[in-house]
């Protein structure tokens, strides 16, 4: 068998029912799906039968990295966690969560590309991986502890360099809305799946390395080239304010650095400066997500940016807010990004000092402290939006008993007092009471339990609900039909950033359209925000590319929150990035020469597996009407503006039907059902998958 670089070479399998620990050869079994979600989908297809429930011992949870994890390739700190997703409603289907941090690199250094956890222990355990020494330990003394204490205790045993992926009380108590966290703040969903297996944590420390197949000078050149293409968080390639070196700027950019703006809580304070993109030693100063999400006051609390292995972006901002220590009795430091960073503040409608005042920052600190220790997931913010809706429309009052209702300090909630979170979040994690238990189930199961109507969620644009218990994730509001198509495809929120990282990058629309034309054949693939045009085949190509690039990133272990890199901050390149950077890095790391098109082919195979799993486990081939659905709110506009008029994100029903037709055609799927055809499965070497679906009557 050929010897490859990149991959560690083994997949670790741990059966918690029997205690059996074994390994299998990555290349032999999984090379055709590369890694990450590819391994996850294949394991679920091969080993987890249709009809399995999320918390059944027969469900499996796969922690998958990829060949670029643990190398020097930028933005490689990714671990994909694939399982039957517990908040997917009305039944759990395949889903994946994605955590950064240092877990992926440590796993690779220990010699593994992935971990397959199966079965169920009869008592709480944690898994220790120290290179080839893999042991299952009793975790009864950790059960009931938060993520921070668990991590600390395991690090005391394994050493400070070990990365610990742990669940909190929410995961232990089988709260579907729960997460797994490593490296303080790097989270992914699926906490309750670990809890259902009585697995409290996985600690991993590797002392090995990842071999690069290519020549050292070629590899170093490729990495340096990739670094030149990087922007700030989410590949925003222009700064948020005018800089001497910049032709363009966008006040909405996450490239926040500027002369005079300092990490003021650092000692001494550190000036972020102009950050000319040619200075590769200043990339880490570009992003300050605390300032982006919380407002300019966050600069005075910023210590620095934190992040994942080999990633210079540092999107997890470390904050030090002394007032929270005395006011709320919590540590004065905290870190996170995006929805994790704003977890606390988004519960509240108002704050006494405004939406970006001191209280809102304190709410964020309290929210991070609680959620990242208890291990609570917020379903991309839908938890908070549901909470506000159900309180203010009186549902809580009508659905829970008076005594329980009165046990909450609603006056604190209405006033925007962060102390309210101490009443709510621990109860969600502990399933304490009807309200908290129901919220923790996720939106779909909550709708069922309380006899509500999903139609109300589908109609309300403020809730941003999409389908199957989950919200939109970069849909029509910013990318028209492309976003709609992407949001129809998964069994949770889409988590695809390939399209939005182009649309929001801050470049003039003319340049964005030029880049779009180079990739998808026409500038019409892309519309300006709020100036949408009818569907065309180039948009279908863009949607397909976006989905495949997400799957590719999840498989090779590159961050789809940062990439793809089809634009760059470099004027001399016409602001082009390089759509073949993944191919360059993959080929050099592994020695498996694959062009951009060949890697896209593999990504499509992986995506097809996801589709096949969804079809098999739903038991229907009619994806078009049963799965690829869209909410009603995308067809409405409060101002009454018709679709395709300037200033609306309103979509047109007939046009969306055309959009799905074009997408299915682009994918080689049956237009009537939205199911892949036999020929398409065969084209991607998934004939056996097609045969099984055919036996079940699930081929079009």
Contact residues: another protein, CB under 8 A: 241-248, 250-252, 258-260, 274, 276, 292-293, 337-339, 342, 346, 354-356, 381, 464, 472-474, 477-478, 504, 506, 508-510, 528-531, 571, 639, 641, 646-649
Q: Closer CB to another protein, residue 109 or residue 347? A: 347
User: What is the nearest approach in angstroms of another protein to the Cβ of residue 395?
Assistant: 22
**What is the closest distance, in whole angstroms, from the C-beta atom of residue 184 to another protein in the complex?**
19
Other C-beta atoms lying within 10 Å of the C-beta of residue 90:
12
CA distances from 529 to 178, 239, 479, 502 (A): 34, 19, 7, 12
Q: How far apart are CA 232 and CA 252, in angstroms?
A: 12
Nearer to another protein, 232 or 615 (CB): 232
| Inter-CA distances, 463 with 388, 470, 565, Å | 10, 10, 31
255/445 with CB nearer another protein: 255
| 393 preceded by a cis bond (ω within 30 of 0) | no
- Burial of 3 (C-beta count, 10 Å sphere; 0-12/13-18/19+): exposed
The nearest distance, CB 251 to another protein, in angstroms, is 5
- Of the two residues 48 and 318, which places its CB atom closer to another protein in the complex? 318
Of 213 and 238, CB closest to another protein: 238
Closest C-alpha to 673, from 611, 596, 631, 617: 611
Quote the least distance from Cβ 244 to another protein, whole Å. Answer: 4
The CB-of-234 to another protein minimum distance in angstroms stands at 8
User: Residue 50 or residue 528: which is nearer to another protein going by CB?
Assistant: 528
Q: What is the nearest approach in angstroms of another protein to the Cβ of residue 378?
A: 12
Give the Cβ contact number of residue 637 at 10 Å. 17
**Shortest distance, position 204 Cβ to another protein, whole Å:** 29
Nearest to 333 by CA among 345, 319, 323: 319
Find the helix packing angle between 476-488 and 653-667, rounded to 10°: 50
Nearer to another protein among residue 481 and residue 512 (C-beta): 512
Q: In angstroms, what is the minimal distance from the CB of 249 to another protein?
A: 9
d(CA 317, CA 233): 11
Task: Indicate the residue among 227 and 338 with the shorter CB distance to another protein.
Answer: 338
Q: How many helices (H) and strands (E) does the chain have?
A: 29, 19
At closest approach, how far in Å is the CB of 321 from another protein? 19
Q: Nearer Cβ to another protein, position 326 or 639?
A: 639
Element (H, E) at 129: strand 125-130
Two tokens, residue 18: 């029997």
Cα three-residue angle 453-429-145, rounded to 5 degrees = 165
d(CA 91, CA 442): 12
Is 630:484 a contact under the CB 8 Å cutoff?
yes
Between residues 61 and 261, which has the closer beta carbon with respect to another protein?
Answer: 261
Coil, helix or strand at residue 253: coil
Q: How far is the CB of 283 from another protein (least distance, A)?
A: 18
Nearer to another protein, 403 or 646 (CB): 646
Alpha helices by DSSP H, listed for 168-315, are 169-172, 191-196, 216-229, 289-294
Q: Which is nearer to another protein, 477 or 622 (CB)?
A: 477
Shortest approach of another protein to residue 94 CB, angstroms?
24
Per-residue tokens: 481: 């039909």
Buried b (16+ CB within 10 A) or exposed e, 356-368: bebbbbbbbbbbb
Minimum distance from residue 381 beta carbon to another protein (Å): 7
Q: How far apart are CA 604 and CA 614, in angstroms?
A: 15
């Amino acid at each position: 068998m050929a010897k490859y670089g990149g991959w560690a070479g083994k997949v670790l399998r741990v059966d918690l029912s029997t205690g059996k620990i074994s390994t299998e050869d990555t290349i032999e079994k999984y090379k055709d799906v590369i890694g990450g979600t590819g391994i996850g989908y294949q394991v679920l297809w091969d080993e987890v039968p249709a009809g399995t429930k999320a918390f059944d011992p027969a469900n499996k949870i796969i922690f998958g990295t990829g060949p670029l994890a643990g190398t020097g390739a930028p933005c490689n700190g990714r671990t994909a966690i694939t399982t039957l997703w517990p908040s997917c409603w009305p039944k759990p289907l395949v889903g994946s969560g994605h955590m950064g941090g240092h877990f992926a690199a440590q796993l690779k250094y220990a010699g593994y590309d992935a971990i397959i956890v199966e079965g169920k222990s009869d008592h709480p355990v944690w898994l220790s991986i120290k290179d080839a020494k893999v042991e299952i330990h009793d975790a009864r003394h950790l059960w009931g502890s938060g993520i921070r204490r668990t991590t600390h205790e395991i690090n005391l045993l394994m050493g400070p360099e070990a990365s610990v992926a742990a669940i909190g009380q929410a995961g232990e108590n089988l709260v579907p809305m729960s997460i797994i966290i490593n490296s303080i703040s790097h989270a992914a969903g699926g906490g309750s799946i670990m809890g259902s297996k009585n697995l409290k944590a996985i600690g991993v420390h590797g002392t090995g390395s990842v071999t690069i197949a290519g020549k050292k000078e070629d590899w170093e050149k490729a990495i340096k080239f990739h670094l030149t293409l990087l922007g700030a968080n989410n590949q925003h390639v222009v700064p948020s304010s005018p800089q001497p070196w910049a032709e363009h700027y966008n006040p909405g950019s996450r490239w926040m650095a500027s002369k005079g703006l300092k990490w003021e809580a650092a000692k001494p304070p550190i000036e972020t400066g102009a950050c000319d993109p040619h200075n590769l030693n200043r990339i880490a100063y570009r992003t300050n997500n605390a300032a982006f999400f919380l407002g300019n006051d966050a600069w005075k609390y910023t210590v620095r940016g934190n992040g994942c292995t080999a990633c210079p972006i540092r999107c997890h901002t470390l904050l030090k807010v002394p007032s929270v220590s005395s006011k709320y009795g919590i540590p004065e430091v905290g870190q996170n990004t995006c929805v994790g960073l704003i977890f606390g503040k988004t519960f509240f409608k108002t704050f006494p000092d405004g939406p970006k005042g001191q209280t809102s920052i304190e709410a964020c600190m309290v929210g991070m402290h609680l959620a990242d220790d208890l291990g609570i997931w917020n379903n991309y913010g839908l938890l908070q939006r549901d909470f506000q809706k159900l309180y203010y429309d009186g549902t809580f009052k009508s659905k829970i008993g008076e005594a329980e209702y009165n046990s909450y300090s609603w006056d604190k909630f209405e006033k925007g007092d962060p102390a309210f979170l101490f009443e709510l979040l621990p109860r969600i994690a502990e399933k304490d009471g009807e309200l908290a238990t129901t919220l923790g189930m996720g939106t779909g199961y909550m709708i069922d339990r309380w006899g509500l109507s999903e139609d109300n969620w589908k109609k309300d644009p403020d809730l941003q609900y999409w389908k199957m218990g989950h919200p939109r994730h970069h849909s029509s509001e910013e990318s028209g039909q492309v976003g709609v198509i992407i949001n129809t495809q998964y069994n949770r929120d889409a988590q695809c950033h390939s399209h939005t990282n182009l649309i929001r990058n801050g470049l003039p629309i003319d340049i964005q359209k030029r880049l779009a034309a180079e990739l998808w054949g026409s500038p019409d693939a892309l519309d300006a925000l709020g100036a949408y045009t009818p569907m065309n085949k180039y948009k279908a190509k863009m949607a397909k590319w976006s989905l495949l690039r997400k799957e590719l990133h999840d498989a090779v272990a590159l961050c789809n929150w940062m990439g793809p890199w089809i634009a760059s901050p470099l004027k001399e390149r016409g602001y082009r990035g390089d759509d073949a950077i993944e191919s360059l890095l993959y080929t050099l790391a592994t020695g498996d020469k694959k062009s951009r098109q060949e890697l896209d082919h593999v990504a499509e195979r992986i995506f097809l597996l996801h589709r096949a799993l969804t079809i098999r486990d739903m038991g229907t081939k009619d994806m078009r009407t049963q799965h690829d659905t869209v909410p009603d709110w995308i067809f409405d506009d409060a101002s009454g503006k018709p679709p395709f008029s300037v200033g609306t994100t309103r979509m047109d029903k007939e046009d969306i039907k055309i959009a799905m037709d074009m997408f299915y055609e682009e994918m080689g799927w049956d237009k009537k059902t939205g199911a892949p055809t036999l020929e398409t499965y065969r084209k991607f070497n998934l004939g056996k998958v097609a045969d099984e679906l055919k036996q079940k009557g699930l081929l079009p």
